[in-house]
Amino acid sequence: MPDYQNHSHKLSLIRDGKLSLRENISNYIYRIKEQSDLNAFNFVFEDSLQDADRIESKIKNSTAGKLAGMVIAIKDVIAMKDRPLTCSSKILKNFTSLYDATVIKKLIEEDALIIGKTNCDEFAMGSSNENSAFGPVLNPVDKSRVPGGSSGGSAVAVAADLCDASLGTDTGGSIRQPASFCGIYGLKPTYGRVSRYGLTAFASSFDSIGPFAKNIYDTALIFSVISGYDENDSTSVESDPVELDFSSGQKKKYRIGLPKEYFGAGLNEEIRKSIAEKVELIKKNGHEVVEIELPHTEYAIAAYYILTTAEASSNLARYDGARYGYRSKENKNLTDMYVNSRTEGFGDEVKRRIMLGTYVLSSGYYDAYYRKAQKVRRLIRDDFIKAFEEVDLILTPTTPSTAFKIGEKTKDPLEMYLGDIYTTSANLAGIPGINIPIGKERGGLPIGMQLMANHFEEEKLLQFSSHF
């Protein structure tokens, strides 16, 4: 199979009759089967082939949408009409969605083909894709290692060339971290810029949907399609349509901030070195690089895990065995049914979060934990606002280490949580962030670099990223 550099190249092959869309999607379905040990997909939609000819004739008549020719995989926490929606949880086994999420509607309107639903951590809670009722996803670069999480399947689907691009969700790093572990691009947009109508809620004041792709152009293209105000999502924000001009963006000179708190102890030396090399390159290209401070960084993980578990405990109260999916069989009474269905339906990590969240919200502890964490959240946000008065973009590692071994951190949840050190802040502040693959460590594992921008400055983020 040819190695496609970017979507426009593939589209031109399809337009010139050198590749049919039917072939494109068939190749992917074949590859998904061939590489089924990666376990990237919960469901593959082979019937999507039926749309190939229709879209192809639109391409030939020049009436096709912006994503025509593109084959996209969707994290199994996003609703698609008449398709299963499980969130990789036993509690939603056999649940089928009644409607399309806004992002799905927008992808289809632009003639993308949806190839299937990807595996993920249960309800998007995790950093390794090991918390899935469908089993773990393997990293295609080294199958003994995790792909990252929670959008592990979406990252692997792109990295292993099982589709052109995919959608994931990011509550505390679930797009950027797996993108980093798998060596691809992953964009977490500004909170509110992409509608979450049809996204299963984990922590509603943090959740965002964004693309994974093999290059910055496809990342930007998908982002431009899925972003925008949606009256069905009360947190979605009116913002200008995304217009990207990569040629003029390449000429602009930026001021880049390196927060010293992100380069302390605990950062893998090879990642540090790779980033330092990129920083040199950035300077050589005429941009300015300055050291900055984000003084409340050390409290980010604690605040994140208090606030997100609180929101999760509330959001996941709706899975009670009565309304959705799984219901326990032997129940003496109603309470029994709730307890048994939830006990049998949820996995360990989800239960841990519900318990933690219920605890931090409980009377007597609310002020000590929840309210305090809200205050810390504000301080973290203010750190960023202040930093962006001085710099255009902030550059950091995406993760403190490269992809770890399957099973390496499952016994110690705290250690797993600490791996989210560089990604949770962007969600606490609501700002956009992207992972850019910048190289490989000696053992061949991908290294990622994170860039963050101020609210609604994705254009700047994407334009600068096109340098790499």
Cα–Cα distance between 384 and 428 in angstroms, integer? 10
The identity of residue 145, as a single letter, is R
Nearer of residues 199 and 222 to ligand GLN, judged by Cβ: 199
Nearer of residues 308 and 450 to ligand GLN, judged by Cβ: 308
CB of 431 to ligand GLN, least distance (A): 15
Strand order of the β-sheet with 208-213 is 41-44, 113-118, 71-75, 165-170, 208-213, 185-188, 433-440, 446-453, 393-397, 255-259, 288-292
Where do contacts with ligand GLN occur on this chain (CB under 6 A)? 124-127, 150, 169-174, 202, 308, 420
159, exposed or middle or buried, with CB in 10 Å at 0-12, 13-18, 19+? buried
CB of 295 to ligand GLN, least distance (A): 23
Cα–Cα distance between 10 and 21 in angstroms, integer? 10
Active site residue 174: yes
- Write out the H or E segment, with its range, that includes residue 373: helix 372-390
Nearer of residues 170 and 261 to ligand GLN, judged by Cβ: 170
- Residue with the closest Cβ to ligand GLN? 174
Can you list the positions of beta strands (E) in 78-214?
113-118, 165-170, 185-188, 208-213
CB of 415 to ligand GLN, least distance (A): 12
Nearer of residues 35 and 427 to ligand GLN, judged by Cβ: 427
Q: Which residue has the tokens 């089967």?
A: 33
Helix (H) and strand (E) counts for the chain? 16, 11
Direct distance between the N- and C-terminal alpha carbons of the chain, in angstroms, rounded to an integer:
25
Neighbours of 365 (CB within 10 A): 13
CB of 353 to ligand GLN, least distance (A): 8
Nearer of residues 186 and 437 to ligand GLN, judged by Cβ: 186
CB of 31 to ligand GLN, least distance (A): 27
CA Rg value for the chain? 21
Question: 349: Cβ–Cβ under 8 A, 6 or more apart, which residues?
Answer: 121, 122, 125, 126, 131, 413
**Catalytic option among 89, 128, 132, 174:** 174
CB of 455 to ligand GLN, least distance (A): 18
Closest CA to 170 of 113, 126, 217: 126
Nearer of residues 423 and 463 to ligand GLN, judged by Cβ: 423
- Write out the H or E segment, with its range, that includes residue 290: strand 288-292
Nearer of residues 146 and 436 to ligand GLN, judged by Cβ: 146
CB of 154 to ligand GLN, least distance (A): 11
Whether residue 449 contacts residue 397, with contact meaning beta carbons closer than 8 Å, is answered with yes
**Catalytic option among 10, 75, 409, 460:** 75
**Catalytic option among 150, 166, 227, 341:** 150
Cα–Cα distance between 424 and 300 in angstroms, integer? 7
Neighbours of 142 (CB within 10 A): 17
Nearer of residues 125 and 373 to ligand GLN, judged by Cβ: 125
Positive/negative CA dihedral, 160, 164, 167, 171: positive
CB of 289 to ligand GLN, least distance (A): 28
Annotated catalytic residues are 75, 150, 174
